[in-house]
Amino acid sequence: MPTIKEWIQEDVNDKEDRLRQIGRYYASEAEDIISGKLKPKDFFKKKKIDREGSWNISWGVGTEKWLTEILQKRNIDCEFQQKRELKIGKDIVISCKADFLFPDYLLEMKVPLRQKTEISPYNKAQLELYWRAFEKPVYIMYFCRDDYRIFLYEPNGNYWEMIQDKIIDFHQQLLSIPKGRI
């Protein structure tokens, strides 16, 4: 008999894949592009999410929905899952989808297993891209079972230049792969 964790894993993996297009990338995958964890040859491959990853994703989705309900019930001035597109050069678009967009700032929510004492290096590229796309202060909230912490992201011009260079390089590598080899 399947367990709830197996059903959750099946559900997470059954989600429709994002339509992959060369030149269109997601802010949430920026760190994987920068670090080389996402390789051009694997760009179109469906990534199977394991049980632990599926559990973490489901916990984060549920927590975010819960917070959304709280904000809506209290009529807090906030938009949910707002998307902006950030252009890099003429051929590259980065899709940036904010969890919570308030009039004066953006709040990105993460639900890690262990509480953070500072912004995780893994989240910095996404936050930099959000800052550039929304042109508002960007906060990240790490929401754990027993606590939450919120940190203000400070944009960095040198880091922004490096992100652009890495994404352009990734894009060029994708373009150079012969058709049928991806």
Give tens-digit pLDDT for 121-133: 999 999 999 999 9
Give tens-digit pLDDT for 67-118: 999 999 999 999 999 999 999 988 999 999 999 999 999 999 999 888 999 9
What b/e readout covers 33-62, taking b as 16+ CB neighbours within 10 angstroms?
Answer: bbeeebebeebeeeeeeeeeebbbbbbbee
Whether the full predicted model's pTM is greater than 0.75, yes or no, is yes
Helix (H) / strand (E) containing 83 = strand 79-88
CA distance 163 to 37: 14
Give residue for tokens 């938009």: 79
Which residue, 7, 28, 8, is CA-closest to 18? 28
Give tens-digit pLDDT for 31-77: 999 999 999 999 988 888 888 888 888 888 999 999 999 999 999 99
